Amino acid sequence: MVTCTFDEASRVDRLRGARVTARSGRGAIATALRTAPLIWRAARADVVVLLGLELGSAVAVAAQVLWLNALFGLVMSGAPLRAHGGLVVAVAAATILPAIAAVFRQERTPIMAERISRFFAQRVLRVASELELADFDRPEFFDELIRASAGARSRPSQLVQGAAQTVSALVSFAGVLVALALIAPVVFAVFAVLLVPVVILTVVNGRVSYDFSFLMTATERKASYVSELLFDRDAAAEIRSLRIGPQLVKRYLGLSEARERELRGVVRRRTRNAMLCEVASWLLLVGRGGVGWALHTSGTFTLPVVGAATAALLQVRGRAGALGFGMAQLHEALLFQADVLRFFDRPAVAPSAWVQPPEAPLRSLALEDVSFAFAGMAHDAVHALSLELRRGELVALVGGNGSGKSTAAKLLAGLYAPAEGSLLVNGNPVDRLPDWARKRIAFLPQSFARFCFTAREGIELGRPEAAPDAPRVADAARAVGLSAVLADWPAGIDSHLGREFERAGIEPSLGQWQRLALARAWFRHGDFFILDEPTAALDPEAEDALVQAMLRLRAAGAGVLVVTHRTATVDAADRVIRLGAGADITPRLRLENAR
């Protein structure tokens, strides 16, 4: 049986980190002030309508107390109500208008929430797409990404709703208190004190919920990964062949039970806090009743005032609950929204200051004494590495597993920044690969993406800013030996790839997926092609076609670096660069002429 437990010291450390993270950098007010303009941009009209409805309801409640006091006075004086029909109508209108507003609010809120969620979610996606590749090598980054993504979908709209309900409840509360101050000033202070336990409960329980969510991010992410494995089409065959489905389910249950254990503690703390708040509120209400009764028996309060105060008591009691709920939403949303804003502030890949005319050529790429280590690793992935790639040559990069070939390729493509040493562009050292140079490099990673779009769309992603170019797409497919495959598909190059979304979708083989990725690189039409194991999933015939295509690229003046273990590719290369196996590859970089 797979079980999951938390080391208590580790749990406390992570919880302490959660509190430090939540309280550092921005307070609740700063978070609200920064979020408000973004929400305004996302759903201005909806926010205005929602706030208007809430404020209108609040004013109606305050007016109801004043008009009821006047109505009770008329009744006690024996005046005929028929002569004061307008006042009766006003009381009725003040009673029914909040209910009507609630209906409109309920219908309008989902649209507002959708607009706000979409606005913040696209900001998270945009930031994530522009971050350093090295960020994706840290587990903590994925926790931050999950919190930001989940927060962006729900917290901004929760913030608006919580703010609207809080403002409405506060205005109602204030209106009732003002009415009481005019009718019975002595009771005013007793009612005002009712806010104290509500505010305390809001702050304490909001913190408990945030701490739990922060602590559980990694656990929930692991549970989500296990469940996605069970739903994954690619993993389905191996899971069934090995009969490991029950083991994965047990692992999921272990993670879920660990979350439940923590949740039980959270529920106990929140329940205890709510009960203490409820007891305090009722004690205050009883105290208010005692004060009111004492003042009435002493003749200080008339019966109309007692009636109005009783109506106010009912309104305040209801509004105190609404205020508590609104403040809880607002406070909790601000805690989580701070995570979203912190993600927005993550540094993107800094562009190089080196600007070059569009027509200027990219002649060479080089690494000079470059070292690089992944986060948490004791050894460098590459150490003191120097290599150069020039236009018009085909270079094979070879070496054993763990020798740093893929890392070197990513460094040369500008996807990683060297920890030591320099990346050289046209012989000039740069801290970052300039945008003009990046656009002229086609990079194919070993773990290429499988885009479940049409084949045409997947190829055109090689240069997304370019206008549709059917002949160029066809040329890219032809160059990597994909034309015959596309001709056999029902819709040809417009066939949808994958069956996750389309029943009639095509499920390419691994080799066909790789050729689609190669076609995407070809479509980019760069000065340099950096290809990491491009023939790993190809059959000999397809590999030969790819080698011939790389030779044509070289003849056309492009520079090609190919990471490979395949003899046919090595034999075609102008130069072979061997990286020594193992963690430390310092001394044994050697060049040999493949011819």
The mean per-residue pLDDT over the stretch 271-293 comes to 70
How many angstroms separate the CA atoms of 525 and 490, rounded?
Answer: 28
pLDDT in tens, 447-457: 888 899 999 99
Q: What is the pLDDT of residues 557-591, one digit of tens each?
A: 999 999 988 787 888 899 999 987 433 333 333 44
pLDDT bin (cut points 50, 70, 90) of residue 550 is confident
Domain span(s) for CATH 3.40.50.300 in the chain: 364-593
Q: Mean pLDDT of all residues in the chain?
A: 79
The torsion angles phi and psi of 586, rounded to 5 degrees, stand at: -50, -60
The mean pLDDT value for 233-242 works out to: 80
Question: Which residue has tokens 């929430």?
Answer: 113
Q: Is 422 exposed, middle or buried (0-12, 13-18, 19+ CB in 10 A)?
A: middle
d(CA 177, CA 184): 10
308 close to 72: Cβ distance less than 8 angstroms: yes
Residue with the bigger pLDDT between 384 and 313: it is 384
In the chain, the percentage of residues whose pLDDT exceeds 70 is 75
d(CA 141, CA 149): 12
Please give the Cα distance from 240 to 557 (Å, whole number): 49
Number of H helices, E strands in the chain: 18, 10
For 437-474, give the DSSP string: HHTTEEEE-SS-----SBHHHHHHTTSTTSPP-HHHHH
What is the pLDDT at residue 105? 78
**Alpha carbon distance, N-terminus to C-terminus of the chain:** 58
The domain defined by 28-344 folds into ABC transporter transmembrane region fold (1.20.1560)
Q: Does residue 364 contact residue 568 with C-beta atoms inside 8 Å?
A: no
Per-range mean pLDDT, top range of 11-15, 179-183, 324-328: 324-328
Whether pLDDT at 255 is above 80: yes
Nearest to 386 by CA among 354, 429, 439: 429
Tokens 């050529």 — which residue?
361
Q: What is the pLDDT of residue 501?
A: 80
| Spatial distance between the Cα atoms of 443 and 518, rounded to a whole number of angstroms | 9
Contact assessment for residue 323 and residue 195, using Cβ atoms and an 8 Å cutoff: yes
Confidence of residue 391 (pLDDT cuts 50, 70, 90): very high
Structure confidence by residue, pLDDT tens digits, 418-455: 989 999 999 999 888 888 888 889 998 888 888 999 99
Mean pLDDT value across residues 246-255: 91
Cα angle 508-448-547, degrees, rounded to a multiple of 5: 80
Tens of pLDDT along 196-205? 676 677 777 7
Q: What fold characterizes domain 364-593? A: Rossmann fold (3.40.50)
The per-residue pLDDT for 1 is 37
Full DSSP string of 25-92: S--HHHHHHHHHHHHHHH-HHHHHHHHHHHHHHHHHHHHHHHHHHHHHHHHHHT--GGGGHHHHHHHH
CA angle 154–160–163, rounded 5-degree value:
130
Residues 6+ apart with CB under 8 A from 272: none
Residue 511 and residue 329: Cα distance in Å, rounded? 51
Residues 6+ apart with CB under 8 A from 185: none
Question: What are the pLDDT digits (tens) for 91-129?
Answer: 788 888 888 887 887 788 888 888 888 999 999 999 988
Distances (CA, A) of 462 to 525, 538, 552: 9, 20, 19
The pLDDT value recorded for residue 352 is 54
Rounded alpha-carbon distances, angstroms, from residue 450 to 48, 65, 245, 515: 43, 65, 25, 11
The predicted pLDDT at position 590 comes to 40
Q: Which of 16-25, 168-177, 351-360 has maximum average pLDDT?
A: 168-177
Question: pLDDT for 470-492, tens place per residue?
Answer: 899 999 998 888 888 999 998 99
- The pLDDT confidence band at residue 409, using thresholds 50, 70 and 90, is very high
Kindly give, in sequence order, each residue whose CB lies less than 8 Å from that of residue 349, ignoring residues fewer than 6 positions away.
130, 131, 132, 432
- In the chain, which segments carry CATH 1.20.1560.10? 28-344
- pLDDT given at position 275: 82
